Structure 1
Amino acid sequence: MVPATRILAALAFTVAAPVVVLGWLWLVGRLEAVVPHRLQRRLVPWLWLAPALVPVGVFLAWPLANTVWLSLRDAGSRSWAGLDNYRYLVTSGEVHTALRNNLLWLVLLTGGCLVVGLAVAVLTDRVRYESLAKAAVVLPTAIPFVAGAVIWRFMYQYRPPGLAQTGTLNAVLTAVGAAPVAWLVDGRTNNAALIGVGVWMTAGFATVILSAALKAVPPELHEAARIDGAGPWQAFRHVILPELRPAIVVTATLVAVSAFKAFDIVYAMTNGNYRTDVIANLMYRQLFVDQDYGRASAIAVLLTLLAAPILLVNARATRRSAP
């Protein structure tokens, strides 16, 4: 039985909120007609933006400010800690390991998704089985990250040499005479194995965006390159790639932000063990396991600062590509 308070809250958000917004817009329209002309350019735009700015302030600005405040408090948020939590970020070895792994995620996940997405978009363009090939790449994006991590954990399953290998990859290796690999335990392979799962589940997103951008390249450019005697590689490098640059930048920044937020795959497959920790997993452990709200908030601030430049690059690229 659903409590009555939850039903009333659902009705408030689905019915009352749109009514309030529409009423506010109607009121602003009436005010615009009576506000003096010299105030319209300064006041009226902010009135129109108020329905968007209020949720941003409530659900984004205020939680961010509160997180910064909590990062300056002790573990239980009972007393002032100053910069002690940020000192932990600078001196802690586990934070350094997580930052190094996040850098690996940033480079390999972003690069892998762009390479796979661009290759699929270009190689399947104008072929009869284009939809089928793209569907095979895009399909994993419909799977939750935790489910994908469980699938690949079975794929990476390891058993000592001499025993029957239940993991698909190690079964293939032993079938051709190679030794099985402890993919998720061996420090030489575990981070790459986790990132490979991320590429498998995210490359479809890059494929969709880059394929749409490729379809938007004017056919006249292809024809002009062919008339000038450009080969396939020259046409791709000097004609197609410059046209795809805005889409590539936007895709790269979005995937890069997801690399900084990597959590599900790491948590489900290794839980940060064997030196595979990432910032988001470290924040989760500090908050829910160690119950250190100060350090968890400081890590959240660090994660925000790391992602902010990428978001600014994305905003600039989107503004430049706008007509």
Structure 2
Amino acid sequence: MNPLLQGAATILIGVGLCIAYFYFSNLILDKVIFPARGKNPGRNINRANAVRPWLFMGPAIFALGLYLAYPVVGSFIRSLYNRSGDQFIGFGNYTNLFASQGFQTAFFNNVLWIIFVPAASTFIGLVAAQLTDRLRWGSVAKSLIFMPMAISFVGASLIWKFVYANDPDIGIINAVRDSFGLAPVDVLQIPFWNNFFLMVILVWIQTGFAMVILSAALRGIPEETIEAAIIDGAGPFQLFFRIMVPQIMGTIVVVWTTITVLVLKVFDIVYTMTGGNFGTDILPSYMMTFMFRDDGRATAVAFVIMVVVLPVMWWNIRQARKEMR
């Protein structure tokens, strides 16, 4: 079948089945299980209304259980077995994992990413949001800053590969060094600091996201508070850091945690730029090294990543609920 026709047929069948499910489930609930007749029709109506939300959420709960909960439980069980999956070794994979120098390096690098990237992206995005709101051509500046968000991580990595190129005729960094008579250097092979050169790529991408969200938050600050601060003699820096920033702190935290979750899942940049070599491995790229040769250890790394992400997700949900109040 033609892919276009197949897609259209899938949508029509899916929508039709959804409509049929909700229609007939309501019909059975109201007419068969809890009919609004008899001695206590009001009680049946209340019971039906109590069951109805679960009836509507049933397909979503089933799908989440099948595609989210089941793989999590299955992955944890798989991580307790050996490479071939035929021998139960308990937490042996985790013990070997935490004792591995490669895992320790990847975990340390991930901590660096978590500290640097969200902080830099949020701060630069906040400053860009404030400055672009003051410019006549601020919308153009925002579009240029936001543009990297439209580029895939692999595409952005390839762009920055040219920036970091060892050839002075291509790489900007080595072109500047060459102008001062310095020898070319491959910045991606400099121990420890090469991690920050990789982080710059994600900061470049995520600054636009932070800027757009924080710009909307800054525009929502009441003008009265700003005018009152100016009348009281507050300078530009005092106005920004003591008046405006505290009022959007909830939005800043949400942006920070959202970028943090992304950092914990990033893989493309490291894999494209260095392949995890030269001490640049992070947990997702470290997991890939075992994916096709040691499934038990790879699953253990994946579960460690999930455990690290959970507190950040919990904090993000908590802050989002505070914003909605």
- Common fold by TM > 0.5: yes
CA contact (8 A) 1:21 1:51 kept: no
Deviations 1:263-286 (A, max 9, x none): 101000100000000100011121
Query: What's the offset of the Cα at 1:105?
Result: 0.6
**1:97 — aligned with what?**
105
Matches of 1:246 and 1:40, distance apart in 2: 39
Q: Which amino acid aligns with 1:215?
A: R
Looking at CA atoms only, which structure, 1 or 2, has the larger radius of gyration? 2
Change (3 A) 1:80 1:2: farther
Deviations 1:226-250 (A, max 9, x none): 2232222222223211221111111
1:24 to 17, 21, 33: 21
Q: Which amino acid aligns with 2:276?
A: G
**2:66 — aligned with what?**
58
CA contact (8 A) 2:218 2:244 kept: yes
Gaps of 5+ in 1: none
**1:279 — aligned with what?**
283
TM-score relative to the length of structure 2? 0.89
Query: What's the offset of the Cα at 1:148?
Result: 0.9
Matches of 1:41 and 1:85, distance apart in 2: 49
Q: Which amino acid aligns with 1:189?
A: W
2:80 counterpart of 1:72: yes
1:308 to 300, 307, 310: 310
Change (3 A) 1:211 1:42: same
Matches of 2:12 and 2:87, distance apart in 1: 42
| Aligned pairs (5 A) from 1:291-306 | 292-306=294-308
Query: What's the offset of the Cα at 1:43?
Result: 2.6
| Aligned pairs (5 A) from 1:133-172 | 133-159=141-167, 165-172=169-176
Matches of 1:50 and 1:60, distance apart in 2: 15
Matches of 2:220 and 2:262, distance apart in 1: 26
CA contact (8 A) 1:145 1:265 kept: yes
Report the secondary structure of 1:68's partner residue: helix
**1:110 — aligned with what?**
118
Deviations 1:16-47 (A, max 9, x none): 22222223333454425836255356533322
Gaps of 5+ in 2: 36-43
Change (3 A) 1:27 1:320: farther
Matches of 1:29 and 1:224, distance apart in 2: 57
Deviations 1:76-107 (A, max 9, x none): 22332221111122211111000000011111
Query: What's the offset of the Cα at 1:174?
Result: 1.5
Q: Which amino acid aligns with 1:313?
A: W
Report the secondary structure of 1:153's partner residue: helix
**2:322 — aligned with what?**
320
Query: What's the offset of the Cα at 1:188?
Result: 4.0
CA contact (8 A) 1:141 1:205 kept: yes
TM-score relative to the length of structure 1? 0.90
Matches of 2:90 and 2:146, distance apart in 1: 47
Say which is worse superposed, 268-277 or 233-242, in terms of deviation.
Answer: 233-242
Deviations 1:134-156 (A, max 9, x none): 11211111111111111111111
Q: Which amino acid aligns with 1:319?
A: R
Matches of 1:73 and 1:17, distance apart in 2: 39
**2:202 — aligned with what?**
198
Matches of 1:83 and 1:235, distance apart in 2: 54
Query: What's the offset of the Cα at 1:125?
Result: 1.2
Say which is worse superposed, 14-23 or 181-190, in terms of deviation.
Answer: 14-23
Say which is worse superposed, 268-277 or 198-207, in terms of deviation.
Answer: 198-207
| Aligned pairs (5 A) from 1:170-319 | 170-288=174-292, 290=293, 292-319=294-321
Query: What's the offset of the Cα at 1:67?
Result: 1.0
**Cα-Cα RMSD:** 2.2
Say which is worse superposed, 12-21 or 296-305, in terms of deviation.
Answer: 12-21
Matches of 1:255 and 1:182, distance apart in 2: 28
Report the secondary structure of 2:248's partner residue: helix
Report the secondary structure of 1:184's partner residue: helix
**1:123 — aligned with what?**
131
